[in-house]
Amino acid sequence: MTVIELLERIRRPYIDALCRAAAQGMYHVEPMLRNGDGTPARDGTLATPYRCDLARTDTGATQTVDATERLRLDDVRVDMQGATLTIAGFSWDWLTLDVAGLPEHDATPLVRDWFLRWIDEDDENARNPDGLYGVVHFIDDPMPVDDALRFRIDLGSAPAAALSELIELLLDRGAMAVALH
């Protein structure tokens, strides 16, 4: 099994749960939270926008969808470009990403720029065959943990290829270890 195939298997339970909830038809799917003037609301030191899973069409109340199951797997370690990629069981809607061997001033802008590419601030993405938009939802401010920098990311309906792209970017920039858990 390739890394991308493993990521797709990890992604599937959350996507299935989101699709089931969205199919009820009373929700805006993956809406961007916006200010009164229509610009994306931004939060945190990264000043990134946020998408919620669903918002009711009648009240605007947001709803979070959680995967009711997750792929169970033993830690997978892969040597890539002289670095180690570790993948543990995680839920697609709440990834903990640890990056080691890359200074914060390099890792943070790289991860932030990647996130901004995948959130689709201008709502230009068309719905995919799942009825979703292929976008990330949220990123928390980075925090140092031991010898790594930790990011928490809601990958939303972004494809497995989006996370694979982030891994490659981090490794290309010189990360010595990337852990997904």
pLDDT in tens for each of the 181 residues of the chain? 899 999 999 999 999 999 999 999 899 999 999 999 999 999 999 999 999 999 999 999 999 999 887 778 889 999 998 999 999 989 999 999 999 999 999 999 999 999 999 999 999 999 999 999 999 999 999 999 999 999 999 999 999 999 999 999 999 999 999 999 9
- Do the Cβ atoms of 48 and 40 come closer than 8 Å? no
- Do the Cβ atoms of 151 and 102 come closer than 8 Å? no
Phi, psi (degrees; rounded to nearest 5) at 172? -60, -35
R_g over Cα of the chain: 16
pLDDT at 39: 97
pLDDT at 63: 95
CB atoms inside a 10 Å sphere around CB 52:
21
Phi, psi (degrees; rounded to nearest 5) at 119? -90, -20
State the amino acid at position 104 in one-letter form.
E
- Do the Cβ atoms of 162 and 113 come closer than 8 Å? no
pLDDT at 81: 83
Whole-prediction pTM: 0.95
How many distinct structural domains can be found in the chain?
1
User: In which domain, by residue range, is 54 found?
Assistant: 3-180
